[in-house]
Amino acid sequence: MTTGFSIASLLNPPSSSSNSSSIPAEEEPFWKPLQTEVPPWEALPPDEVLRRFDDPTHVPPETREVVACYFDYYYSICPLFHPSSFLSRLVQGKVDGFLLDVMRARTARVLGRLAEGAHVLDALVERIHRQLLAGIEQPTVDYVQAVVLATTLSGGEFRFMSYNALAALASSMVCKLGWHTADLQPAAGDVASWHEWLALEGRRRVFWVVYQMDAYQALLSDRPMSIADDRVFTRLVRWHPSWDDVGRLQPLARQLTEDGRAPGTDEIVRTGAVSCAFHAMVTLATCYSQLNTLLWTIRRRARRPALQGAQPFDEQEDALHVEHSLMELAEFRRMHERFVQWRSALVPIDGLREAARPLEHFGQFGSLAHRQHMLRVRYFCLHCYNVPSMLLLHLANRPSFYGDAAQRDASFGGGSAFLGPPYADNSDLIRALLASSFSAAINDSLLATDVHPASWTICLEAIDAMHAFLDANADIPAARYDQVVQVALFLAITVLVRHVCTGRAQEQAHAERFGAAWSARAIGGLWRRLKELGHVGGAAGMEALLRKMHVDEVAEAAAALAGLAL
What is the tens place of the pLDDT at every residue in 519-532? 889 999 999 898 88
Q: Do 436 and 325 belong together in one domain? A: no
* 16 is a domain residue: no
Show the low-confidence residues of the chain (pLDDT under 70). 1-43, 113-118, 186-192, 238-239, 241, 244-262, 304-319, 355, 359, 361-363, 365-366, 404-429, 433, 508-511, 534-541, 550, 558, 561-566
In a domain, 10, yes or no: no
Q: Tell whether 297 and 352 lie within a shared domain.
A: yes
pLDDT at 421: 46
Collect all residues with Cβ–Cβ distance below 8 Å to 416 and sequence separation of at least 6.
Answer: 423, 424, 425, 426, 427, 550
Q: What is the CA radius of gyration of the chain?
A: 24
Asked if residue 141 lies in contact with residue 125, where contact means CB atoms within 8 angstroms, the answer is no
pTM of the model: 0.84
User: How many CB atoms are located within 10 Å of the residue 129 CB?
Assistant: 16
517 is in which domain, residue-wise? 404-565
Residue 313 falls inside a structural domain: no
Residues 360 and 426 reside in one and the same domain: no
Residues 438, 357 within the same domain:
no
Do 137 and 219 share a domain, yes or no?
yes
491 in any annotated domain: yes
Please give the span between the terminal C-alpha atoms of the chain, in angstroms, as a whole number: 61
Write a three-state SS string for 157-203. Answer: CCCHHHHHHHHHHHHHHHHHCCHHHCCCCHHHHCCCCHHHHHHHHHH
**379 and 418 share one domain:** no
pLDDT (0 to 100) of residue 301: 82
Shared domain for 413 and 376, answered yes or no, is no
Are 208 and 352 part of one and the same domain?
yes
Looking at the fold, whether 87 and 219 belong to one and the same domain comes out as yes
DSSP secondary structure letter of residue 205: H
pLDDT of residue 337: 98
Helix (H, G, I), strand (E, B) or coil at 433: helix
The verdict on residue 389 lying in a domain is no
**pLDDT, tens digit, for every residue of 38-89?**
444 456 777 788 889 889 999 999 999 999 889 888 988 999 988 888 988 9
For residue 14, is it within any domain? no
Number of domains in the chain: 2
Residue 494 is assigned to a structural domain of this protein: yes
Phi and psi torsions of 66, nearest 5° = -65, -45
Given this model, what pLDDT does residue 186 score? Answer: 66
Residue 156 lies in a domain: yes
Does 366 lie in the same domain as 454? Answer: no
pLDDT at 453: 93
Residues 370 and 450 in one domain: no
Whether residues 366 and 513 share a domain: the answer is no
